Amino acid sequence: MVSKNQIKLITGLQQKKYRHANGLFFAEGVKVIEELLKSEIELEHLYVTMPLFDGVIAAKKTFITDSDLKKISSLSAPNNCLALFKIPIPKPIVEEGLIVVLDDIRDPGNLGTIMRLCDWFGVSQLLCSQETADVYSPKVVQASMGSIARVSVHYIDLVLFLEKTRLPVFGTFMDGKNLYTAALPQEGIVVMGNEANGISKSVQNCVKQAITIPRFGVLQRTESLNVAAAAAIVLSEFRRTTSER
């Protein structure tokens, strides 16, 4: 059974201020929870409607009813489990390899999908502006499908970081150099901008090379790509180019 205080705590975690005040976030679904349990992120408590996760000690597991799960779930059709995890202390940023920077990405689904892409293409660090969606939002956690356990996310002053970095800084624009003919390094930073407005002016000033995904449509009328779709193409090209050397 879930107490009223537990319901209040868990439902409150749908808001950023309560997540960070309590140092907790929650995940739903067997796949996401399994990935988090295998990571260094610490489990606070697990709620299940059926026997699941045998490796979790009894003191940290509570069996609840489907109706109780509906009270604490953020999903319209709740799964069969929900777990509370402690928000980890961010690791130091390491300026090596390929790093993705997100400038004011607001859509939680886009952020979660970009995390999965980073995980897929071996990008272990994701740097976000303070305005970017919160990585511990239930929708972001859900969309990441467990990649939140393997990609380190930092919220920083992007301009301050980009002005000092030793790595080459690439930015995605509508009128940059053709991605497929540009010289792409093994190490570097790729900046992706806001869904509606692109990269902000202050961050644009830090970009050393503007790149673009060329349009091949006959009419050339498509205004832009979804930022997650663009990230997939850009990361794929970076990895393809460098793996062929």
The neighbour count for residue 89, using CB atoms within 10 Å, is 6
First to last CA, the chain: 58
Distances (CA, A) of 91 to 78, 140, 151, 152: 32, 20, 11, 7
Residue linked to tokens 């393809």: 240
Q: Give me 32's structure tokens.
A: 């996401």
* Per-residue confidence in pLDDT tens, the chain, 245 aa: 788 999 999 999 999 999 999 999 999 999 999 999 999 999 999 999 999 999 999 999 999 999 999 999 999 888 899 999 999 998 899 999 999 999 999 999 999 999 999 999 999 999 999 999 999 999 999 999 999 999 999 999 999 999 999 999 999 998 899 999 999 999 999 999 999 999 999 999 999 999 999 988 666 666 678 999 999 999 999 999 877 65
Residues 203, 159: contact at Cβ < 8 Å? yes
Instruction: Please state, in angstroms and rounded to a whole number, the distance separating the CA atoms of residues 231 and 237.
Output: 10
Residue linked to tokens 């093994």: 186
Run of H or E including 33 = helix 30-37
